[in-house]
Structure 1
Amino acid sequence: MRPLATCLGMAGLLLLAACGDLPHPFAGDPGGIGPRLAVPPPTRLAVPSPDAAMLPASGATLFAADIAQSLLAQEVPAVQQPARPGDWRLQIAASRQPGGVVPSYSVFGPGNDLRGTVQGAPVTTAAWAAGNAQALAAAASEAGPKLADLLTGIQAAQMQSDPHSLMNRPAKVYFTGVTGAPGDGDLSLARQMAVSLPDGGNVIQNTARGADFTLRGVVTVKHLDARTDHVEIVWTVTGATGAEAGKVAQLNDIPAHTLDAYWGDVAVVVAREAAGGVRQVITNNSGRAHKPIPPPKAGTPRPGTLPKA
């Protein structure tokens, strides 16, 4: 086996790449594909056909459907239909401005309380008035990311006000350990991850009960030829519901049999760098990275209404 000093030099290379669509946590994008905070907080967002958006009836129905599809593409559980009791609701309105017709979108909570509003890009007056399908589809596509950000901010505000949310307490992580590593890798990597991951925002526990996230590590070693091994380490984070929250991958080609016995300082470096990516995945899924949007001030006119004189 190669000396530990040489192995430690190799470890730096092991941290540089990721496979497929996994994030590159050690190349400036830790946990970058951690899924968006689930929004809105309830199970769905109703998108009724607007009756005050200056659209023909057929255009209003079409635009509501387009908005719902655009939200679904942003992983927002939206449905094009009138709101039912307990639903969150998206109200679509529009106003004539110098650049054309500007759509606006307002989110209401289950109690019919206004939570936030965002404007879309202008659409030509003629295309809007005609309910032009292509123009409406483009407007909906442009609005989707804006609405997803708005909903994320609304949920972040709710979490900020909840003392039990992950914005106000450490995340509890159940670490199941590492499997598949040659030599003492399973034990060495697990020990070093248990040391590296905890910080002010995350703690490790040894049972699944009450855990906010579960973390597991899997090592795969493939012998490419007599002189080269391909090592891949994937750290998978799942949420309390069992849904995958994100992955961090480390891989590289190394001299054959380098890690057949002892990992030593290699495990220290690998776990330390991987912990940074895991922390970012948890942050992305805890709401901590999102800026809360405060509720509108009392007396703010609702969309489609005129302020009192």
Structure 2
Amino acid sequence: MQCKTYIKCLLIFGAILLAACQPLQRPFQPEVKNGWHAAPGPRTALYVEPVKDGPDNLDDAVATKLQELGIAAFAGKAVPNRYYVRGKVIEKEGMPYISWAIFDPQNRDTGLFTEEKLPLPATEINPAGPDLERVVLNSASNIDRLLGGDGFNFAKIKKPVIFVPIVRGAPGDGSESLAFAIQEELVRMGLEVLPTESGANYIVRGAAELSEAKAGIQTIMLTWSLERRNGEQVGKIQQRNRIKAGSLNGAWGQTAFLAAKGGAQGVYKLLQSTEAEYFKSKS
């Protein structure tokens, strides 16, 4: 009898232990989880709104530049639950500016904003010109800094990188020797010259014109044109010399380097004027 009682107590005690091992109930927990997800950070997904009163496609161009800075920016159709940057053209003291402000996914102003002066009124900025490119670079750089980045290294971006194609119209081997000579002279001046157009932001185009011989004398005119990659001419240098008729119909030799020296000096001065900030940083 005592044995049966003892066994019965053990069974009851075991049942209590098993109950104690069951998962604890979690009060106030919903039976069905909702579908809410935290918004990605602004550097992970940033929507660039169309710019109010700004140049066409500025939002697309800024988004593309922000991607180069490591920000997953996009333009076009907005996506819910995303940070976004709002741009608009404003006027301050009679001058055009563009302002950018960061908003959170709940459409609240984060207090992060930046402004920059436009080189021209927005309606006068050429969508394919250097002015718009400058606005895009500055805007993307400033937005990146608002979000903890370093922005663009403008000294590196504005560094002149040159390509020199074959000179047109030169007699003898002048087309090749003149192009080679001015490349050598530009490199000697500390400029970067590439063997192909890819990667260059400036092109130095040379052209030669030779007059008809008169009394055994000819006049040769060399024109060096400094252009941006988009075809915009920055300036040109012209050199005129009288030579013995037919003397340049063969190898130019040292004459090519003498001619190229003056052309290279003129190109350098044009670049100093155009990229003043870069040359100032190098001095």
- TM-score normalized by the length of structure 2: 0.47
Higher relative contact order (CA 8 A, sep 6+): 1
State the structure with more CA Rg.
Answer: 2
In the superposition, the TM-score normalised over structure 1's length comes to 0.43
